[in-house]
Structure 1
């Protein structure tokens, strides 16, 4: 029994901590270490994903802005303007000077023939999908606007074009011609309006030599009375394939050709071409007369063409 007590006392002495360590007290509920995260005091709503990660990379180098360029005082920035739209056409009242391949310049400093070709006083706008007559140079002498989609000839289309001698608008969709469209053209000689939808003609200049209004809807009621009487130089008059009720008399002495076929003409006068009061009168200039395709029977009016070099067909 004594030996057991001695052995027990020796075991306690060997396993006990040294005296200088002092008693160790472990209170888990109140334990706190400054190097340990306190999950309770950090915050219940804080998200660890939002915490900034502490890295060891060096910050990016600072970007140095280049010095601002100061343009010289006489610097002008180049700007490319959009092309002028074909549908925005300007009235023909602007002045310009000097010929060129694309036409003289207008008062705005822009080429006047943007959709056409202007060469030596002639303006060519054929087959250009035009819906109206464009601005023309003041020095224009011959204007060709054939095979387009023009529907109207306006009063201002040819204003101030005092040198204009020829207008050709054949093959369009013209249905209306303004009453003042041509009256100011004091040098106009050729007026070509074939293959349109014209039902009335305005007052025409007395200077005309060649008129072509074939294949339209022209009616006698849509023409001025004695429309061609004062045209002392008229030589060619083409009025076929219209809806005329009678021959537009009197016809000038200068006339060489008149085509009236395929209209609604039902009668004619004995003095249509000749002068029944003068039996010796001979009309030598008029050589080509077409009246076929009408309801009139020319055999009933033998005296109407006895003064002619040849019988009408």
Structure 2
């Protein structure tokens, strides 16, 4: 009985649901989707048949498809009319802009002329370069200077101005141990030297005079080199207070008189000066028992400065005015056994002297002097 009642109630409920409008709309939608799905499927089959064009005799397992026959997709989307009009206006404005003439600066490859269209009409916009005055006119007004040196003028850098007065010597010069180097410093006088200086070099300067006080109390000084200065005079006793002085180099100056020198000298170089006959003290080198090198080349000496010490090894007197030589200039005529072995280098070339006229003057020498024999 209960089962019958449940079936009856179920039938009533089913009828109520079927009769409701919501159920009817769902059924219509399902029916519509099914129909559209079948129609879409038929259209897809037709399109596939159009795309795949099979030749006779071919099966589905071996299709031949030409990919290039497919047309590329069209990506040209429609452009709004407003944006197209703006682009056209911008292009018209660019076309209407005139080209302005430009001046190419000189020195960068250009000639300084105006470039661009209509330059002939707009030459008045920029000033033209003034013409260079001709030679002989004497007019330099309006000429433009480039600031560069002329072709014939060397570009010399300005020398720095240094106040050397009062500067410590070892700050101005180079001091290494007992040696002081003051080469090429444009000095016009001998700077104060440390008391322990042994070697002093002041070459290629502008020193004009040597005073007695320049080397006073320099008890350790052994060498002085003043090559290539502008020295015209030296105090006669400027070097006499130097008990250790051995070498003096004063070549390439304007000295006319050789000063008195201590007996300790071993080298004297006074070449390329203006020393004449009166510029040498009488018997100036007689007591220099350690003198080995005497160089007096390119002066105005007219005789060999005798007597010469036995220690002398080299005597250079080239290009002077020596015209004669005595037989006892180098040898001792009273002692025929006397031989001067040390003096091996005598240079007399460039003098107006005939060495062949005095053959007895060389009998004590290991070598004949160099010079004219005719």
1:115 Cα deviation after fit: 1.8
Unaligned 5+ segments in structure 2 are 1-160
Partner residue in 2 for 1:31: none
Confirm whether residue 237 of structure 1 aligns to residue 294 of structure 2.
yes
Partner residue in 1 for 2:344: 287
- Describe the SS at the equivalent of 2:200: strand
1:127 Cα deviation after fit: 0.7
More helix per residue: 2
1:263 Cα deviation after fit: 0.3
Partner residue in 2 for 1:141: 198
1:184 Cα deviation after fit: 0.5
Partner residue in 2 for 1:120: 177
1:85 Cα deviation after fit: 2.6
- Describe the SS at the equivalent of 1:221: helix
Partner residue in 2 for 1:129: 186
| Counterparts of residues 171-250 of structure 1 (less than 5 Å) | 171-250=228-307
TM-score, structure 2 length as denominator? 0.55
| Counterparts of residues 159-170 of structure 1 (less than 5 Å) | 159-170=216-227
1:112 Cα deviation after fit: 3.5
Partner residue in 2 for 1:261: 318
Deviations 1:194-233 (A, max 9, x none): 1111100111111000000000001120111000000000
Confirm whether residue 85 of structure 1 aligns to residue 142 of structure 2.
no
Unaligned 5+ segments in structure 1 are 1-82, 90-109
- Describe the SS at the equivalent of 1:114: helix
Confirm whether residue 157 of structure 1 aligns to residue 217 of structure 2.
no
1:295 Cα deviation after fit: 1.0
Cα pair 1:113 1:135 within 8 Å, conserved: no
Cα pair 1:262 1:292 within 8 Å, conserved: yes
Moved over 3 A (4+): none
TM-score, structure 1 length as denominator? 0.65
RCO higher in 1 or 2 (8 Å CA, sep ≥ 6)?
A: 1
CA distance in 2, matches of 1:252, 1:216: 23
Deviations 1:131-183 (A, max 9, x none): 11111000000000011111111111100100000000011111101111101
1:296 Cα deviation after fit: 1.4
CA distance in 2, matches of 1:84, 1:198: 28
CA distance in 1, matches of 2:251, 2:364: 30
CA distance in 2, matches of 1:294, 1:268: 11
Larger radius of gyration: 2
CA distance in 2, matches of 1:299, 1:160: 49
Confirm whether residue 275 of structure 1 aligns to residue 353 of structure 2.
no
1:84 Cα deviation after fit: 8.4
